Structure 1
Amino acid sequence: MAISTRSPRHRSLPAATTFFLGDRIHFPLIREFLGHMKKYLALFAFAIVAFAGCGPAGPEMGDVTGMVTFKGKPLPTGTITFVPETDGQPSAFAEIQEDGTYVAKTRDFGDGVPVGKHRVMIIAVKDHGPEAPVEAILPLKYSSDRQSGLTADVSKGENIVNFSL
């Protein structure tokens, strides 16, 4: 049973607005707006569910590990980068560990290197502190994938790719 509780202070409210006894307030225009919002929210939720997981799964990957040696000894530092010869494939990289080993990964797809042929570049420098310039450990040619002459052919599964410089 609805009892109007209009008081003089509510006289400025629109005529379509009515108050009911208790905590429920009825605003016809707001109710209509919320009805439309529910439809849009339902469509939005459906779109989210429908398109979830529809993004690219990523390229076919192979696990790549290996060792880099220079003048017969493990290279103790540096970065190795695999640049795919196929357009549209992501590059992969790895930090070379103190024992010369590395495990390659991509920024967007995690561990592994896209399957296919790659040009490889390796950069390694010694840091002598903030006041001194860094010193290149490797000849400059290895810092360019086009000049290094280093390549890797990655297949699906495990790949051990060692570089003796």
Structure 2
Amino acid sequence: MLRNWLRVLPLLVIFAYGCSGTPDDQPETGTVTGVVLLDDKPLPDARVLFSPTSSGQSSEGVTDENGKFELRYKRDIMGAKVGEHLVKISTFEQPVIGDDGRPSGGRPELVPQEYNETSSLKRTVEAGENEFEFKLQGGG
């Protein structure tokens, strides 16, 4: 019995290592939370996108009814890659054309384009916890 385990053990170790991945294939990340205000009022249902200014995967989150958000890097990893990011904030959602040819759903852009399409907002994410407040102006 012990002899059988000794044969299987190296295979289990290799399998476990292969499933877990290596630390080198994952960049260092920091958790990112914050709040978005538009004309001093919480902005609900806004998409907050952090894109690294160097290279790497973006992180995003959606604000709740109080304008608060938390970024997700990957499905099971919260936060954003450590480093400088270009930040875009948007409420726009494209309507979906139904089988009847009529658009449904969608949402207009409430955020001025200087905070999304032509954004120059930048924030630096550090290892550990990061909290940012975005006070946007010009929502009408």
Secondary structure of 1:102's counterpart equals strand
Structure 1 residue 132 displacement after superposition: 7.2
CA change 1:85–1:109 in 2 (3 A) is farther
Among candidates 40, 57, 60, match of residue 28 of structure 2: 60
Deviation for aligned residue 1:83: 0.2
Match of 1:11 in 2: none
Query: What is aligned with 2:114?
Result: 141
Unaligned runs of 5+ in 2: 1-10, 97-102
Q: Does 1:70 align with 2:38?
A: yes
Matched, 1:99 2:66: yes
Aligned twin of 2:132: 161
TM superposition shift of 1:110: 1.2
Equivalence map 1:1-165=2 (5 Å): 48=15, 51-55=18-22, 56-87=24-55, 89-107=56-74, 110-125=77-92, 131=104, 134-144=107-117, 147-165=118-136
Greater length-normalized contact order (CA 8 Å, ≥ 6 residues apart): 2
Question: 1:77: how far off?
Answer: 1.6
Higher Rg: 1
- Give secondary structure in 2 for the equivalent of 1:141: helix
Which structure has the highest strand share of the two? 2
SS at match of 1:134: coil
1:154 and 1:131, CA in 2 relative to 1: closer, same or farther beyond 3 A? closer
For structure 1, the 5+ residue unaligned runs are: 1-43
User: Could you tell me the TM-score, scaled by structure 2's length?
Assistant: 0.71
1:51: Cα distance to partner?
A: 3.8
Q: CA RMSD in A?
A: 2.9
Kindly indicate whether the alpha-carbon contact (under 8 Å) linking 2:91 and 2:107 is maintained by their aligned counterparts in 1. Answer: no
- Please give the alpha-carbon distance, in whole angstroms, between the structure 2 residues aligned to 1:132 and 1:54: 40
Identical counterparts, % of pairs: 28
Relative distance call for 1:117 and 1:128 in structure 2 (3 A) is closer
